[in-house]
Each structure stands twice: as structure tokens, then as C-alpha cells.
Amino acid sequence: NAGVTQTPKFRVLKTGQSMTLLCAQDMNHEYMYWYRQDPGMGLRLIHYSVGEGTTAKGEVPDGYNVSRLKKQNFLLGLESAAPSQTSVYFCASSYLRGPFSLFFGEGSRLTVL
């Protein structure tokens, strides 16, 4: 069982470059989430999706865009990367809104120079 898979695991970007992080889940979960984890801070929600074709803003959405064209995939895009977006990004999914356990990916470490 793959669970939640994130690609890529590591990426280095220059300021102004764009990239997309892919999250794929094989558990038929409706809800998917993108978080960022920074030193000394708790996980913060960037965007989330309540089902195929839907997206919503979380706590720190600025500078990011997302899409959920297929139920199993949730993409996080950075159109013009900034050093402040250097972070570890986690994707998670849950069966429904709650209270259901979250299933996390392994994380993607992004460095913006």
C-alpha cells in the first residue's frame, strides 16, 4: 500500500523559478491538504481540497496555487518562488472532513536560493 506519495522529495530552486509538487493518494480519500513545516513552528495549512475539482485557502495561502483535477492527486504550485518559501512541505489526506485520522506523505524539502 503506497498511501500518500509526494514528489519530488527534494528540490532546489532559484528565486523567481516555478515548480509543482505532486501529492498522490491511493486510499480514495475525499479530503487532501498541503502543509508547510518551518523550524520552531507547528505545521501550517496552505490549501486544502474537499473533493475532486475543489480547492480552498488555508492559513498561509499567499504565493501558492493548487489544483485537484483528479480525486487521487493534489498539486501544489509555486509560480515565482521566494526564499521565504524554503520549507518542508507535507501533503495529507483524510477519508472525510473529520474526525478522521490524517495520513501524511513523507515530505518534500524545498530550498529557494
**Cα separation of 30 and 70, whole Å?**
11
Residue 85 per-residue DSSP state: G
Q: Which stretch binds another protein (CB under 8 A): 17-25, 66-74, 75-83, 85-93?
A: 85-93
62 lines the binding site for another protein (CB under 8 A): no
Residue closer to another protein, measured from CB, 79 or 106: 106
48 lines the binding site for another protein (CB under 8 A): yes
CB of 35 to another protein, least distance (A): 8
* Cell numbers linked to 15: 528565486
Contact between 108 and 37 (Cβ < 8 Å):
no
